[in-house]
Amino acid sequence: MTTQTLTFNHQTRLAVQITIEDETGALTFSILLATRLFALLYQVSQVVLFIGYELSVLAGDLKAALNFAGKVFAIGLNSLAYGFGVT
């Protein structure tokens, strides 16, 4: 009988150390799979939040650009009307 020992450390604000003595390795595999899945979901959520933020900034920039273009167009039309003698 061989005993498979796995020790891994992960430290954020909370230190976690897990030591597993499992003969089949199934528990070790399931814990590593769950940990990797959680990390992947966290990274995906961060990417989605970043993309949402960037899209909101882009929408605000487009709104400001269209507002500015509209004001410039209105000034141009008023100048053209003044040039043609329309008051």
| Structural domains in the chain (count) | 1
Residues 6+ apart with CB under 8 A from 1: 23
Which domain range does residue 45 map to?
A: 4-83
At 11-53, the pLDDT tens digits run 566 666 777 776 777 877 888 888 889 989 999 999 999 999 9
Pull the structure tokens for residue 1.
């009988």
Give pLDDT tens digits for 44-77: 999 999 999 999 999 999 999 999 999 999 999 9
pLDDT exceeds cutoff 60 at 1: no
